[in-house]
Structure 1
Amino acid sequence: MSNLQHIGSEPVEETLISHLVELRNRIIRAGASVVFVFIGLVYWAPNIFRLLAHPLMQNLPPDGKLIVTDVTGSFFVPMKVTMMVALVIALPVVLYQIWAFIAPGLYRHERKLVVPLVGSSYALFLCGMAFAYFVVFPTIFRVMAHYNAPLGVEMTTDIDKYVGLVLTMFLAFGVTFEVPIIVVILARMGIVTVKKLRQIRPYVFVGAFAISAVMTPPDVFSQLILAFPLVILYEVGIIAARIGSHKG
């Protein structure tokens, strides 16, 4: 009797190696898709950066400007922004590679649930980024410029710090817009019920304001811009979870 364990008719070692090989191939394909998009966009990296900086430039005073404090900043910062854009564009391919790897281990009803959840998650993340770019950034930068004016302070910022702030805000609002998906998943998995979601509503509201205080600039208006969407999206999640429970 061989001491080597088997899964079905395949040895455990062979099964593990085949999974690792497939995982490696999936990672390579996902990474290649991001690199491919990046190469296609790199020529327009300065334009992409100017587009990202547009909300700030529109609200700077006449003497305000963006500056570079690092010798290589004017090259690497637009490259960083372009890579982030490439990742967002290639994200459907990346998500598909993840899905293709885990799909064989899922039940049929789980596979039916994952596809719409992944698609809606991507769409909601893009909506969160769009909300940040078109609504939040102009508002926050306008408020910051207003605060600086009475102090007689020249409003300038390093492009690397600006990109860091913008990417943090993109991530914060992108994740914020995922709240309905998270609520639906928790309800579908039976971790919480719709009734429980309603009961913990006051704690969620307090948590929304606490999260917004950490993720946004330290002014009340900016915090409200993040907190209110969190509250509204949580309510949307409850409605979606209730509809899903009736269908289930």
Structure 2
Amino acid sequence: MAKKKTKDPQTMSFLDHLEELRWHLIRATTAVLIMGIIAFIAKGFIFDVLIFGPRNADFPTYRGLCWLSQLSGMDNSLCFEQSPFSIQSRKVAGQFSVHIWTSITAGFIAAFPFVLYEFWKFIAPALYENERKYSKGFIFISSLLFFLGVLFGYYVITPLSLNFLGSYQVSELVLNEFDVDDYIRLVRVSVIACGLIFELPIIMYFLAKVGLVTPEFLRKYRKFALVIVLILSAIITPPDIVSQIIVAIPILILYEVSILISKIVVRNNNKKQKKVSVT
């Protein structure tokens, strides 16, 4: 049986590119659904261990804060003894709906490297041969940054938010009884948002590659970036200074890394232009 010939990207029409994109999206979506089905089956681990883990007093973040509190002579002021809120479901299909959407979210997180791989395969034909060699490194670094962001959102943002919002009361007459959908939405937004924010160096790499961003531009507007980071930290964290600083620090580090990456990209582009002009 004859092998199907791969179409030349240079001779492909707009509709051919759309067809190619459609198959990449189908494969990426299939991977997300497969991982989502696995997450759906592993309901006990996903919910009891992962989702509801940050409301337990023995969660690693709370143990670490308690240790720091005792080490700094603050007694047990930062220790988390028991959950200050309860979780309930007030809709008929509430728990089933939560189960479905949580499984899809978990499927997306687990399948992220493959989704990224399909995205890379779609844009790879438009790149130079030497740029395609970095595909494995690109997928690995992007996935690593995303998972680091997910872990940061899960172990830092989520417990800080739950501890603050769960214990906050306008009056002792008002009890904190959170709907399960709202609780999981907070966890989901914290985790996904941090995962995407940690992709900042990759985004800056591509912006520098096409000439939209330069290291001089990033240095010039560093002060404005600091303000934006603080505003962003205030949005995704509880309204207390400590939490905002904890979130702002890694984002600022990523911004400085982005400056270094853009500097390397611009330097390499200049070298290529010099070689072309000499030849």
Higher percent of residues as helix: 1
Question: What is the match of residue 180 of structure 2?
Answer: 159
Residue 96 of structure 2 is aligned to residue 75 of structure 1: yes
Distance in 1, matches of 2:17 and 2:214, equals: 36
Instruction: Give the gaps of 5 or more residues in structure 1.
Output: 1-7
1:214 partnered with 2:231: no
Cα distance in 2 for partners of 1:160, 1:238 equals 39
CA distance in 2, matches of 1:68, 1:186: 44
What is the deviation of 1:43?
A: 1.6
Change (3 A) 1:182 1:130: same
- Matching residue of 1:4: none
Q: Does 1:127 align with 2:118?
A: no
Pair 43,171 (structure 1): closer, same or farther in 2 beyond 3 Å? closer
Distance in 1 (CA, whole Å) between partners of 2:83 and 2:229 is 36
Alpha-carbon offset, residue 60 of structure 1:
7.8
Q: Compute the displacement of 1:195 (Å).
A: 2.6
Counterpart amino acid of residue 53 in structure 2: H
Please give the alpha-carbon distance, in whole angstroms, between the structure 2 residues aligned to 1:62 and 1:119.
37
- Structure 2 distance, partners of 1:160, 1:147, is 19
CA distance in 2 between partners of 1:228 and 1:17 (Å): 45
Amino acid at match of 2:252: V
Q: Report deviation, 1:199.
A: 1.7
**Residues of 2 paired with 1:62 and 1:162: CA distance?**
13
User: 1:60–1:155: 8 Å Cα contact kept in structure 2?
Assistant: no
- Superposed displacement of residue 115, structure 1: 4.5
Alignment check: 8 A CA contact 1:26 1:101 kept? yes
Aligned CA-pair RMSD: 3.0
1:127 to 1:186, Cα distance in 2 relative to 1, 3 A: same
TM-score for the superposition, normalised by structure 2:
0.73
Cα distance in 1 for residues equivalent to 2:144 and 2:208: 21
Aligned length: 239
Gaps of 5+ in 2: 1-7, 58-79, 270-279
Q: Does 1:192 align with 2:213?
A: yes
SS in 1 for 2:194: helix
User: How many Å apart are 1:62 and its aligned residue?
Assistant: 5.6
Q: 1:133 to 1:62 in 2, by over 3 A?
A: closer
Please give the per-residue CA displacement for 1:143-187, whole angstroms capped at 9, x wherever unaligned. 334433984643321110111112111222112212222333333
